[in-house]
Chain A
Amino acid sequence: MPKSLFVDPSAVRAPGKVTFNDIPVNQYNKTVKEELDSGKYTKEDLIRIFRDMTILREFETMLNLIKTQGSYNGIDHTYPGPAHLSTGQEAACVGQAYLLDENDFAFGSHRSHSEILAKALSTINKMSDEQLMQVMESFLDGKCLRSTQKLGETKNVKELAIRFILYGTLAEIFARETGFHMGMGGSMHAFFLPFGIYPNNAIVGGSGTISTGAALYKKVNNKKGIVVCNIGDASMARGPVWEALNFSAMDQYKTLWESHNDGMPILYNIFNNSYGMGDQTRGETMGQGVMSRIASGVSPTQFHAETIDGYNPLAVIDAMERKLHLLRNGQGPVMLETITYRFSGHSVSDQNAYRTKEEIDAWKEVDPIITYPNSLIEAGVLTQEEVDAILAETSARMTMICKAAADPAISPYCDFDKDPAVVERLMFSNQKVEKFDDREPEVTVPKEEAEGYKKIKSKERSPIGADGKPVSKMKLYNLRDALSEVIYDRFYEDPTLIAYGEDCRDWGGAFAVYRGMMDALPHCRLFNSPLAEGAIVGTAVGYALSGGRALVELMYADFIGCAGDEIFNQMSKWQAMSAGILKMPLVLRVSVGSKYGAQHSQDWTALCAHIPGLKVCFPATPWEAKGLMETALMGTDPVVFFESQRIYDVGEQFHEGGVPAERYEITIGDTNKVRDGKDITILTIGAALYRAMDAAKTLSEKYGMEADVINIHSLVPLDYTKIVESVRKTGKVILVSDACARGSYMNDVARNITEMCFDDLDAPPIVVGARNWITPPYEFDEYFFPQASWILDTIHEKLVPLAGYEPKSSCGEAEQIRRSKDGV
């Protein structure tokens, strides 16, 4: 909602029509001879294209034999994992990679072995021997190189590098410790950053948003190169891919951004092999007919889209040359639909029930691994003997690589028996990084002169003023200010830090945490995103794993569902799947609503805490909010940062002296004891803390019981030390949060307490959560969310009867069984 853009009714209501440019389809028509004569390629270039294709083909052939027959060229090996082969797609991959170098990032899909290898072979060809040696020696401390060197001397460094890339990829697929990521990624997640090969993704279309985020990183941080997003035809049906296309084409880059206002440097390349798994995307499950048409629905530039023949490597190179020119001149995003075909099934268990032998044979007739060398022979570039020699060399190399990768002596598995914590160590990077780049952060005014920052600094940091009187709500430093203060500080320290989300800029975020920041930050660091949660989180994942720090926001926790894959599969997994090579400095702010009904009031902390690889925080006091945000924005791990709309306005009621003006960190995993008592422990998450404190007050005043109240501001990780200490002391524990009771994270805490404190318990730990209903209208809040009276009722009925207490509601065992039986 920028005021500078005038929505003129006379303009938007004016009659007219929408026109489209023609989209070229398979327009390339040059012969090898013509290309050779034009001087575009040398003979060696053309031969190397063929050699690379043979390497790709042999790799997939080898895997197919290992999977289906357990043997390849006399090497017996059993590989139980996935193999989504790209046999038949080699020309398209080699053609695409031909002009790319290590500064260009390529992201892929579950069917990306050929893309990885093609990009690597192209990069190897472009890098100097010194650069190659430096990359190989430094990667994983040379572990992968040493295994490769056991295969014997090579005639040159480039041959060593080819063996290195083949070995590292195959060892990764075979789940070996010597693979590129210790085997933690595997076939569908192999990649190699030093050559600009970025993660492939087992989620169809998963790379759509992530690669867009990587392009955003390059754009905002002035990094060399462009980004290629390789996705299959089937992924074009997925919402997040459309979200990504839109994100890359937002008008604001040109209309509003003060700097970095070039187009997004990204190529969306659709490898269209006509099939999803077995579904046919042309004629059955989709309706575009020609996929390059899609971009016309996203931007007037139509992404300069065209459809090209992926069965001719020279046609692909021709198109790439033109698209790279556009991208390097700031005219992205661009789109290519690269027509190809896979001879292999979706996976090796594919019975090809969905296509005929005739169809496969028809494509084999034009298989580029035969037609391309034939065209070279015809043009006098190669002889049949030379072709055979290249095939023999490729086969011999692959046999050697396969033998080594299958041999446990050269390629051991991670030893889970000797080192059971091998994966544990990979889950979080736990580093502290003040800034990811050394340049000066881009801002429009010095921090001390930023009005919003000054206002926060002028507020009273304790609810009781120096005069002993309560501070007015308007002047009190509250939870919102605590978040803003840290975010300001970090914006002025880490030049790579960017923040975006729905209405983050002009509105200041729906809950005003960014209020006023637009006056201090250019658009490239704080901007409004489209209302597309998949793109918000997915692009942030791409931004973070590319090397920048991202802070993004979902307006309501309920929208987590719209970004399910991006949060649960991408944000959470990449650090460990990359064996720690990727970092994920990404903080996802998520606001828990109230008053807005069933789709805007849910506490979904349990969903996030359930997923391994995410850190999860939920501060309930300004002191907690400031310290945790500081830690989160200094760290290198993905943090889902929950905030409650009920308490943005609260001042610090517990920490002595209020919220310190100086910087400080709170360890994620610590707990915050806000009240001391000996008789009962009350554990809380989120805004329920304040209702628990009301209950504690009643317990003390009317029933002579003193409650230990501990707020769990960090769900993952969580240090139980202080909780166990308290429960051992009191013997009674009640756990309160606003999440629906069934499946609430508190059940996990209760289970652990039961295990660790069983002999000290005077009653079972009881979880008090919201009812297992939809959230009714706000007028009925007290019937749905835990209240102080619910806490007292529960204590009286299930922990320790309170003398003279009259419970307001009762839930005996029969009622508990009935509710569970009814699913409510």
Chain B
Amino acid sequence: MANAVIMPKAGITVESCIIGTWEKKVGDAVKIGDVLFTYETDKASFECESTAEGTLLEIFFEEGDEVPCLVNVCAVGNPGEDCSHLRGGSSAPAEAAPAAAAPAAAAAAPAAVCNTLAKAVIMPKAGITVESCIIGSWEKKVGDQVKIGDILFTYETDKASFECESTAEGELLEIFYEEGEEVVCMQNVCAVGPHGEDCSCLRPGAEVVVAEAAPVEQAAAVVEETPAAAPVAGAPVSPRAAKLAKAHGIDASLATGTGPNGRIIERDVQKLIAQGVQPKAVAAPVAAEDEYEDVKFSGIRRAISKSMHTSLSTMAQLTHNISFDATQILAYRKALKAAGDEYAGITLGDILLYAVSRTVLNHKDLNANMLDDNSIRRFNHVNLGVAVDTPRGLMVPTIVHADEMSLLEISKAVKALAAECREGNISPDKLSGASFTVSNLGSFGIESFTPVINPPQTGILGVCGTVDRVRKGADGSIQLYPAMGLSLTYDHRAVDGTPASRFLQELCKNLENFTTLLAK
């Protein structure tokens, strides 16, 4: 019987060798150990000794041929014997798996194999961005027989409702989630299988790899997809992201960090830019020196900045303008001045404050604070905020329970608080707690403006200057009268237009009939 001589494997990494020279030719007699041919790897040259005895029957590869290791190179046997079956043969094991594969595969195997005939039905992924769904109702109950395609339960996303069909046949063995529960997509929801089968290993949390639950391969196109998350205050910003944000004049902290540990990284700022977030300030054109001065905000300025920006960016504000006949309060003020002493110090502004303190309680949604988007706190007294101009900026001290104070008391309180503000020694307690605010720009001749609400209040009254206006008198004559403007800004979330107008209307009436108000 003819035997093949194979190309030896000259080393673990050697895959093939080149035949150098044949030392024997077909027909030669060979003994075991005779050198048949030489062969080379890229490192060395070797001699191949015959592993069989007899006649060299056939040579399958010529000199210079590259032969894979363990492949038959020639046949040795009895003269005339057929050796064609050895041609192209090999002694290589069918599955010559690399040595390293074995332990790797072993390690990759799951820690616990789920040995059950039951099959899990999973919560489908209703969309690429859907991460979990809520179970609506169960259409089958434990013990029911189900077929593939039977509706097992309904489930909802925030947009739509779906039906989940069974992907397995048998008895509904166990339900892992009840109606109303939120289930992460691809998670096992129930088990279906032969009656009595143990399906505990399918229960979520059983740490078993479920082959069918492999997540959909994410394509390159979804790289930009990031979980919807809100910006986190104080999230770390990478130097690169910070640099990019600075170059675009935007606040990097407004970005949602998608880096490790929520770090705001370059792509997050790029997204912000793409969304069109406005620069913090209009970038000043490059100007020659001395044409401007960059000044850092003082603490109070920063507080104002933040508060005002929050006010306008979080509320639904609008302003109504009105004017009233100031004849009576001007006359009254004149009388007080003439009265001398402490009465002489009562100003038109004080009169306005008094009128507000006696009016706003009838319009409780304006004498209030917003607690959150859904609730409001109405006050039973009027704590009047008074805008005071100081060298450091706008300050708003509060006159507590102004509704219980006389005009003179209000006047004195305002003067004392304003003095403390200007001196900068006012207690922070006196700068908070207002239920409504009055801002008076009348002395500057402002005819109307848009006061900005001091959060969380719901309204602010702007007091404007007095101008002479004409009106048609009851007798048809043209009359000249002093008209004082009022601008009310209110938060439309808390107050609608009509009640706000009613407040202004009553306030005007009270001011036009101020002596009557005083009598109350």
Contact = CB atoms under 8 A, between A and B. Distances in A.
- Co-assembled chains A and B: yes
A703 B219 CA distance: 7
A759 B239 contact: yes
Nearest to B128: A804
A762 B99 contact: no
Contacts of A802: 223
B506 interface: no
A473 interface: yes
A781 interface: yes
Given A508-B43, A759-B240, A702 B66 contact: no
Contacts of B218: 702-703, 803-805
A664 interface: no
A782 interface: yes
B260 A797 contact: yes
B42 A731 contact: no
A703 B260 contact: no
Nearest to A472: B66
A778 interface: yes
B283 interface: no
Majority SS at the chain A contact face: loop
Given A702-B218, A762-B238, A763-B260, A779 B103 contact: yes
B263 A763 contact: yes
A512 B43 contact: yes
Contact of B100 (A474, A507, A779): A779
A474 B265 contact: no
A781 B102 CA distance: 12
Given A474-B66, A763-B265, A804-B215, A649 B42 contact: yes
Nearest to B264: A762
B44 A763 contact: no
Given A472-B66, A703-B220, A759-B243, A800 B16 contact: no
Interface string A801-813: 1111110000000
A472 B41 CA distance: 12
Interface in A16-60: none
A507 B241 CA distance: 57
Interface in A503-526: 507-508, 511-512, 515
Contact of B42 (A474, A701, A704, A805): A474
Contacts of B15: 473
Nearest to B224: A803
B241 A798 contact: no
A780 B107 CA distance: 10
Contacts of A512: 42-44
Contacts of A806: 215
Contacts of B226: 803
A803 B16 CA distance: 42
Nearest to A515: B43
Interface string B202-231: 000000000000011111111111100000
A119 interface: no
A806 B243 CA distance: 30
A782 B101 CA distance: 10
A799 B267 CA distance: 12
Interface residues of A, number: 39
B239 A782 contact: no
Interface string A484-515: 00000000000000000000000110011001
Interface string A673-712: 0000000000000000000000000000111110000000
Interface range, B side: 35 or more
B18 interface: yes
Q: Please indicate which of the listed interface residues B104, B223, B226, B242 has the most CB atoms of chain A within 10 Å of its own CB.
A: B223
A478 interface: yes
Q: Please indicate which of the listed interface residues B15, B43, B222 has the most CB atoms of chain A within 10 Å of its own CB.
A: B43
A701 B218 CA distance: 11
Interface in A747-796: 758-763, 778-782
Contact of A704 (B103, B220, B240): B220
A761 B238 contact: yes
B79 interface: no
Contacts of B103: 779-780
B266 interface: yes
A782 B66 CA distance: 31
A565 to B, nearest CB: 32
B327 interface: no
A552 B301 CA distance: 74
A801 B220 contact: no
A511 B11 CA distance: 12
Interface string B238-255: 111111000000000000
Interface in B1-27: 12-13, 15-18
Contacts of A511: 43
B220 A731 contact: no
A803 B225 contact: yes
Nearest to B215: A804
A480 interface: yes
Interface string A236-247: 000000000000
B259 interface: yes
A653 B380 CA distance: 83
Given A474-B16, A760-B243, A801-B260, A779 B238 contact: no
Q: Please indicate which of the listed interface residues A762, A799, A802, A804 has the most CB atoms of chain B within 10 Å of its own CB.
A: A762
A762 B240 contact: yes
Given A703-B220, A759-B243, A800-B267, A508 B259 contact: no
Contact of A478 (B18, B42, B225, B243): B42
Contacts of B265: 762-763, 800
Given A508-B43, A800-B265, A762 B241 contact: yes
Interface in A456-480: 472-474, 478, 480
A799 B266 CA distance: 11
Interface in B180-221: 215-221
Nearest to B222: A803
Given A731-B240, A762-B266, A781-B100, 13 more contacts: A472-B16, A473-B15, A474-B17, A474-B18, A508-B44, A511-B43, A702-B219, A760-B239, A761-B238, A762-B238, A762-B259, A800-B259, A800-B267
9 contacts: A474-B16, A507-B44, A701-B220, A761-B239, A763-B265, A782-B104, A804-B215, A804-B218, A804-B222
Please list the 10 inter-chain residue pairs (A to B) with the smallest Cβ-Cβ separation, ordered nearest first.
Answer: A804-B218, A512-B43, A704-B220, A762-B240, A731-B240, A762-B238, A762-B266, A704-B223, A762-B265, A759-B239
